[in-house]
Amino acid sequence: MNIIHLSDLHTGKSNNLEKSAILVDWILNNKEGHKSSLVIISGDLVDDGENWQFLQAKDLIDRLRNEDYVVLVAPGNHDYGPNGYRESQQSRVDFKELISGVEDYPHLYSEDGQVFIVLDSMAEEFSTVELWGAQGNLGLDQLNKLDLILDELAENPVIENVLVVLHHHPFDYLFYPGLRDHADLKGVISRRIDFPPRVNVLLFGHKHLEHRFNDPGENKEELYGIDMIYSSGQTVERNIEGNMIVPVINLDGFTIQRFEVN
Ligand SMILES: [Fe+2]
C-alpha cells in the first residue's frame, strides 16, 4: 500500500492555497504514478485557524474525498489559532467540523491491515498557556490511551503495520516549537525487547524540513525500533528547481518515492 504524506500547507498565507491546489490536481491526475488513495496531512493545514481559511481548505480536501481518497489530517498549532501560538477554541471547533470530523484522539482509521493513529499534539497545550509558543503537548490522557491501543494492536495478528501521525516534531528540542512530552511519547511507541515494532511508521511535520531519521551516524529508526520515522517538509515550498516535492511512502518496503510537482 502506498500513502501520500503532505504537511504544513499553511493555506491562507501568501499563495499557499494556489500551490496546494496544484498538489491536489497532481494527486488526482497521477494515480497511475503514485498508486495511492490515502493522503495524510500532518498538520498546519491552514495558517491562522480562521474560519475562511478552513472553508477554502475544505474545498480542496473535498476534491480528494469526492474522488474516494481518504484524507487524514492531524491538527497543528497553526490550525488551532492565529500565528500558530494563540490557541482558539473556535479554531478547534472549526477544524473538527470542517476538516477532520474527529471528536476524540487518538483517532483510529484502518484499511487493508494498516492502522493509522492520528494524534492531537495540541490537546494538552490548551491548558498550558502560561507562556505562548508553538509547542505541542499530547497530555497523559492521550498517551495512556495510545499505550492501551498499541497493546491491543500488538495482539491482533491481522495488523500488518501501525502508523502514528502527529503534527509536532518529537526530535526538535528547542523550547519554543518543541513537543513538551516527547520523551513520554517515545516511551510509549518504542519497540519492546524481544517483541516486533510497536509502531511501524511515525510521521510528523511542523519543522518545514523533510527528513528520514535513519542517518547512519544516528539512526533513530534503529534506536526506537520503528521501521520508518519521517517528517515531510512544508509541501508547498518549492525547491531550487522550482518544484514542490510530494513524498509517497510504500508500506511494504518502507521506502519513499519523491515526486516533483511544478
Ligand atoms: Fe507547526
CATH number at 21 reads: 3.60.21.10
The region, left, alpha or beta by phi > 0 then psi within -120 to 50, assigned to residue 35 is: left
> Distance between CA atoms of 93 and 201, rounded to whole angstroms?
28
**Do the strands 70-73 and 244-250 form a parallel or antiparallel pair, or are they unpaired?**
unpaired
Total of domains in the chain = 1
State pLDDT tens for residues 190-216: 999 999 999 999 999 999 999 999 999
Cα of 193 vs centre of ligand 1, distance in Å, is 33
Segment 35-62 shows an average pLDDT of: 98
Cα of 217 vs centre of ligand 1, distance in Å, is 27
Distances in Å between the Cα of 198 and the Cα atoms of 52, 106, 128, 159 are: 39, 15, 30, 11
> Distance between CA atoms of 259 and 135, rounded to whole angstroms?
31
Cα of 10 vs centre of ligand 1, distance in Å, is 9
C-alpha cell belonging to residue 85:
501560538
- CA-angle at 66, arms to 64 and 68, nearest 5°: 75
Segment 167-172 shows an average pLDDT of: 95
Q: What is the mean pLDDT of the chain?
A: 96
> Which residues form the domain of 97?
2-261
Cα of 42 vs centre of ligand 1, distance in Å, is 9
Cα of 212 vs centre of ligand 1, distance in Å, is 18
**pLDDT of amino acid 176:** 83
What residues have CB less than 8 Å from 234, skipping those under 6 apart?
Answer: 7, 8, 9, 10, 205, 208
Cα of 195 vs centre of ligand 1, distance in Å, is 33
pTM here is 0.97
Cα of 75 vs centre of ligand 1, distance in Å, is 9
> Distance between CA atoms of 167 and 7, rounded to whole angstroms?
8
Cα of 243 vs centre of ligand 1, distance in Å, is 22
Is the per-residue pLDDT at 1 higher than 90? yes
**pLDDT of amino acid 130:** 60
Cα of 95 vs centre of ligand 1, distance in Å, is 15
**pLDDT of amino acid 127:** 79
Cα of 220 vs centre of ligand 1, distance in Å, is 22
Is the per-residue pLDDT at 32 higher than 90? yes
State pLDDT tens for residues 78-136: 999 888 888 899 999 999 999 999 999 999 999 999 999 999 999 999 877 666 689 99
Cα of 79 vs centre of ligand 1, distance in Å, is 8
Closest CA to 221 of 234, 246, 203, 245: 203
Q: What is the identity of the amino acid at 135?
A: Q
Residues with CB under 5 A from ligand 1 (ion): 44, 76-77, 206
Q: Are 143 and 188 in contact (CB under 8 A)?
A: yes
Cα of 168 vs centre of ligand 1, distance in Å, is 6
Cα of 257 vs centre of ligand 1, distance in Å, is 24
